[in-house]
Amino acid sequence: MVSGEECTVNVKDLIVSPLPDGVQAVVRYSEGDGPPRKYGTLDFSKVFLVAENPPGEFLGPTGLEARDLAWVLEKASRKMQTFQHRWGVRSNEILDDLIRCGAVMVEARVNMRDLRIERLTQIIRTPLWSERAEERRRNLLGRIDPGVARMELLGLMQNISELETEYGLLLKSEPGVVPVGSATGAGQWDTYDFAVRVACRWYRDRDEQHPTRREVSSRSHAHTAGTKTRWTDARIQAVENLFGKYISDLFDFPDHEIRVKGPLRWYRDGVLAVDAVTAEPWVGLPSNGVRETGTLEQVKGIRGVLILENQDTFYRSCQIPAITEGWVCVWGAGYASDGLVGFLKMLAPLPIAVWGDLDAHGIAIITNLRDRVERDVYPVAMTEESWLRGPHRPQPPERREQDAKKAAGLLDQAPDALRPVAALIADHPELAGLGVEQEAQHTEVLPGLADLLAGVLDSAHSTSGA
C-alpha cells in the first residue's frame, strides 16, 4: 500500500502475538528508502497496528461518547500511558475499535527474539482523520447550535452590500447546511461558517490598514480560537471563492525569512550581510528588509531563480551543486508573500522556474505568483504524465470535489504548461480532485532537475513563455 511517499509491509504473519480481528501489523517506510533491514533481513522491531479494511467514512466506534471521540481527535498523537489513564480497564477494547474504524494507528515494539509485541508506545491519529479533525471536534462538542450559528451569520451579513446575495441564499437554507449556490463552494458547514465570518470582519474593517490573516481571525473568531484559528486549505479556498480574489491579495503577510541558496549576496552599508553562495545548507533573508536597505549582488554565473513550494524539496535541491551553482533556490512556502514577490522583482529579468505540488492549490500558487511578479514563470516537473503516474494523496470526497472545482476554475488562468494538468484534476473519470505531493516526486525528478532547468533557459530565451 502506498500513501504519498509512504509504503507499508504487512508483517502480521511474522509476529507471534495475537492481534485483534480487523487489525494488522505493518512496517512503514519511505518509498525511496526501501523497507528497513537488519543483518540482511526485514527489520520489524517497530511496527504499526492499523485497520485491515478502514471504512471510507468518518464513523467512530459504536458506544463511544461524543466528548470521548473529540478527545481522540484533539491531538495528533498521545502516549499509551495517557490513553490508559483515561480509560483504565476499557483501554484495550476502545483502542481496538478506534484502530478498526481508521481513526488511529498504534506504534508498537516487537521483541525480535521471541517475535512478540512487548509494548505499545504511541497512539497516532491517521492522516485521513487529521484532515478534518478540528471540524469534527466542533461538530461533536456542539459548541455552536446550527440554528444559532445560522442566525449569527445572518446578523453579521446584514448591511454588507457585497454579501447581499450570500445573505439571501442563507436566508432560504436550513440550519447547518451550506446554501445551494453559495459563492464559497464549501462542502461543509464549518468551512462555510469560517469563510463568511472572515468576510464579514474584512468588509467591516476595510478602511483599516491592509490586515494580516491573524488580525482578521482574532476578531472574526474571538468566540472560539481567535488568532489560533486554523486557516486550512479548504477554508482558504472558500474565502478566495467568496471574495473572488487570491488570499495574498486580501491580506498582508508580516516580514519573514526568505530561505535561499545559490549565487547571491546581500550587502548592508557596504558590508557583506548574507552570502547565499557559501551558506550551508541555506541562509535567511528578511523579506522586507532586503528590499528596503542594502544591495543584492548577483554572483557571476547566475542563470535564474528556482522557487520550490515545500521545505523538504527546497532542502534536497540545495544539496545539488549542479543546481545551486547557477540557480538561486528559494523556499516559496505556499502562496507567495508580498515580501517574496518584491524580492523576485528585484532579481528581474532572471527567469523564474517553479516546482510545486501537482494539485489544484499548487497550480493556483504558481498562477498567483506569475500574476503578481508580472512576468512569465516556468513550471518544471509538473506534467500530465507525472500527475497520472502518482502516487496520489488520499482526500475525503468533499475535499476532492472542492479541488476539482478549483482546478476547473484555473483552466483559463493557469500558465499554458499547467492547463493540461488542471484539466485532468478537474474531470479525470477516476482521479478527479486528487494531487501528487512534491516530495513524492523526489526520486524521479531530483536526479534530472538540472537538465529541466536548462530547458527553462531555452524557453526563456525564446519567444514563448508561461
pLDDT band, very low/low/confident/very high, at 224 (cuts 50, 70, 90): low
194 versus 214: the higher-pLDDT residue is 194
- Residue 384 confidence (pLDDT) above 90: yes
Total length of the chain: 466
Q: What confidence tier does 129 reach under pLDDT thresholds 50, 70, 90?
A: confident
Phi/psi of residue 39, each to 5°?
55, 35
Average of pLDDT values for 384-394? 91
The grid coordinates of residue 110 equal: 516487537
Average of pLDDT values for 19-41? 84
Region(s) of the chain under CATH 3.40.1360.10: 257-461
Range in 41-50, 95-104, 333-342 the model is least confident about? 333-342
Say if residue 275's pLDDT is above 50.
Answer: yes
What would the mean pLDDT of 80-103 be, rounded to a whole number?
Answer: 88
- Which residues have a Cβ under 8 Å from the Cβ of 427 and sit 6 or more positions away? 404, 408
Residue 29 near residue 3, CB atoms below 8 Å: no
Q: Please tell me which residue, 208 or 105, carries the higher pLDDT value.
A: 105
Instruction: Specify burial of residue 394 (Cβ count, 10 A radius: 0-12, 13-18, 19+).
Output: middle
Residue 441 predicted with pLDDT over 50: yes
Q: Please, which pLDDT band fits residue 228 given cuts at 50, 70 and 90? A: low
Name 38's bridge partners: 41
Q: What pLDDT is recorded for position 225?
A: 52
The CA-based dihedral angle spanning residues 382, 387, 389, 393, taken in that order and rounded to the nearest 10 degrees: 120
Residue bearing cell 501537482: 358
Q: What's the CATH fold of domain 257-461? A: Dna Topoisomerase Vi A Subunit; Chain: A, domain 2 (3.40.1360)
Dump pLDDT digits (tens) for 140-179.
Answer: 765 556 777 888 899 999 989 999 999 999 999 988 889 9
| pLDDT computed for residue 3 by the predictor | 42
SS (H, E, C) the chain: CEECCEEEEECHHHCCCCCCCCEEEEEEEECCCCCCEECCEECCCEEEEEECCCCCCCCCCCCCCHHHHHHHHHCCEEEHHHHHHHHHHHHHHHHHHHHHCCCEEEEEEEECCCCEEEEEEEEEECHHHHHCHHHHHHHHHCCCCHHHHHHHHHHHHCCCHHHHHHHHHHHHCCCCCCCCCCCCCCCCHHHHHHHHHHHHHHHHCCCCCCCEHHHHHHHHCCCCCHHHCCCCHHHHHHHHHHHCCCHHHHCECCCCEEEEECCEEEEECCEEEEECCCCCCCEEEECCHHHHCCEEEECCCCCEEEEECCHHHHHHHHCCHHHHCCEEEEECCCCCCHHHHHHHHHCCCCCEEEECCECHHHHHHHHHHHHHHCCCEEECCCCHHHHHHCCCCCCCHHHHHHHHHHHHHCCCCCCHHHHHHHHHHHHCCCCCCCCECHHHHHHHHHHHHHHHHHHHHHHHHCCCCC
Chain mean pLDDT for the chain: 86
Q: What is the mean pLDDT of residues 214-218?
A: 78
Distance CA 445, CA 385 (A): 12
The pLDDT of residue 463 is: 47
What integer pLDDT is reported at residue 157 of this predicted model?
93
What pLDDT score does 41 carry? 83
Report the alpha-carbon distance of residue 410 to residue 419 in Å, rounded: 8
pLDDT digits over 353-378, tens only?
Answer: 999 999 999 999 999 899 989 999 99
Q: What is the pLDDT of residue 450?
A: 95
pLDDT level of residue 1 (50, 70, 90 thresholds)? very low
| pLDDT tens for each residue of 311-363 | 899 999 999 999 999 999 998 877 777 778 888 999 999 999 999 999 999 99
pLDDT confidence of residue 253 = 67
**pLDDT at position 270, please?**
85
